[in-house]
Amino acid sequence: MQRRSFLAGSVLPLLGCGHPDDISGGFTGVDHTRGHLLRDASKTAKAWPAPSVFHTTEVLIAGGGVAGLAAARALRMHGIDDFALLELEDTAGGNSRSGTVNGIACPLGAHYLPLPSDDAPEVQDLLEELGVRKRVSGRWEYDERYLCHSPQERLFFNGEWQSGLLPLQGVGVATLGQYAKFSTLVAQARKAERWTIPVSNRPLAPVQRAQAAMTFIAYLDANGLTDPHLRWYLDYCCRDDYGAGIATVSAWAGLHYFASRHGFSAPGMDTAEHEGLLTWPEGNAWLTRRMAAPLKERLHTGQVVLRIAHAKHGVEVDAFNTMTQQVERWRAQRAIVALPIFVAARVVQDAPDFLRQAATHMVYAPWLVANIHIKAPLFDRPGAAPSWDNVLYGSVQNGGGLGYVDAMHQSLQPVPGATVLTHYRALGDVPGGPAAGRSLLQDRPWAAWRDTILQELSVAHPDLPLKTTRIELTRYGHAMAIPVPVTGNTSQIGLQPPWNMRRQLSKSERHVLADGRLRFAHSDWAGYSVFEEAFTLGHVAAAG
């Protein structure tokens, strides 16, 4: 306790010495005013001007995130070059984009990709195309430049750094017993049922349907898993992947995090497989930039999609060009709507019931991403060496941070120097819920976020405020769909993609999707947000 009291006290003089005011920075990465144009217009019943520019194309893709880029790639693979992709921001990539701070590349969102299994052949094909993996003597090998270098992760716990993120240093026998019990439950779940990424909206077994209908914390309660260290770790994992903690996400989602990947390894139990990760200094933007590069003039950025309508011989899409300040109309034979579901429900004219209902069921997590440039290596507490992923115990709940990743970790520089630490905060279940998190993002000034982040991370790095030169913040009001418990029809996870549910549609809904003129593709349709889901749904929407 004396050591922890000293650490906490040592932060305040550093923050109070006036130096943080010398740190430059601001909000960057996402122009939220563009997205709010559509929202504010609907609130005020604003009438957009009539289209003054007209285009024609065979296929129109609305949305340039991972799903939209995957759809564009699939069209090109099938010999279709007459298409256009409309993207809201200045660059494509969605949550998988990047920036630079003082010349160092860093992610603005997603920062890694687990090695895809054979359940994600489309993602495997992409990695082969980009040279990330290749077959050598009959076996697949990944380029070691892109595999996350060791040490991969560490946790600041009880005043020291330890290897791995599961709290271990000094925990008691009871805690270890709870770890072992949860490990056994995950192993049993993996043996009893199939857990895959992507989920492909496959029907669930009865036990999985029950898990999808309850919160993860209710599942832990039912199984007597009450240990605070275990719950902290599971809460961290859920916030990291889903944007909200164990009291919000479903038990299916909490188990899926482990059962679909690497299991759960308790100390002394060899029950989990080693999980390889692919990462780059700029995160998953390394992938999306290469997916976007061949599009050239087909990629139209700064476009606010206003309306998607079924027309006599195809579809019409109206978009506001933020550069020219004009409304432009696109006429296409078909359209792929790679937009978040809540946006799609607004812009699809006479939206069918399945789309409106899906929009009402979605819950979105707000996120804050802070890229912190430091001019010199930080002072390190005892224990594990600096790693790619660095997490502080106890800072996760109520909108606290998820630690940071080091943008220069992959460089293997012989002498550590300046770098960018990318810090994440999931605000999906702050007091007041996601709406309160979005208000916090919009209303809280940059300097307040700066001070909060510096104080939080200074517990492990008391010299951080003195070595920080710049902090750039990226705000996502609707960063990802939260896999909350589902009620009613729980025969599948997530929301059934429309092209797989034609028998369930009314005549008017079938008319909207007639002849495949309108396809939907976004990770939202899977019910949670990961690269593999978005990419596969985009690929299928274009190629199916």
Please give the radius of gyration of the chain, using alpha carbons only, rounded to the nearest integer.
23
Cα dihedral sign for 200, 389, 91, 345? positive
* Residues 205, 189: Cα–Cα separation, whole Å: 11
pLDDT attached to residue 327: 96
* Residues 247, 239: Cα–Cα separation, whole Å: 11
Residue whose C-alpha is closest to residue 476's, from 441, 521, 513: 441
Chain-centre distance for alpha carbon 42: 27
- DSSP annotation of 411 reads G
pLDDT attached to residue 12: 42
Both tokens of 430, joined, read 């702050």
Side chain identity at residue 82, one-letter code: D
pLDDT attached to residue 265: 85
Residue whose C-alpha is closest to residue 542's, from 126, 121, 93, 58: 58
The angle, 0 to 180 degrees and rounded to 10, between the axes of the packed helices 531-543 and 66-77 is 40
The string of DSSP codes covering 430-447 is: STTHHHHHHHHHHHS-HH
For the ranges 25-39, 255-269, 321-335, which has the lowest average pLDDT? 25-39
Cα dihedral sign for 256, 262, 265, 269? positive
Q: What is the total residue count of the chain?
A: 544
Residue whose C-alpha is closest to residue 474's, from 109, 29, 33, 88: 29
* Residues 267, 163: Cα–Cα separation, whole Å: 12
pLDDT attached to residue 106: 97
47 — pLDDT class (breaks 50, 70, 90): confident
What mean pLDDT is reported for the chain? 88
3-state SS, residue 293:
helix
Side chain identity at residue 324, one-letter code: T
The angle, 0 to 180 degrees and rounded to 10, between the axes of the packed helices 121-129 and 531-543 is 90
Both tokens of 192, joined, read 């009893």
pTM over 0.85: yes
Beta bridge partners of 53: 328
pLDDT attached to residue 52: 93
* Residues 150, 365: Cα–Cα separation, whole Å: 31
Beta bridge partners of 475: 368
* Residues 383, 161: Cα–Cα separation, whole Å: 4
Contact call for residues 62 and 308 (beta carbons, < 8 A): yes
Both tokens of 346, joined, read 């607004």
Per-residue pLDDT tens for 66-79? 999 999 999 999 99
* Residues 530, 520: Cα–Cα separation, whole Å: 17
pLDDT above 80 (res 289): yes
Per-residue pLDDT tens for 132-146? 999 998 889 999 999
* Residues 406, 391: Cα–Cα separation, whole Å: 11
Q: Residue 155 class from Cβ within 10 Å (0-12 exposed, 13-18 middle, 19+ buried)?
A: buried
Most confident of 266-275, 467-476, 506-515: 467-476
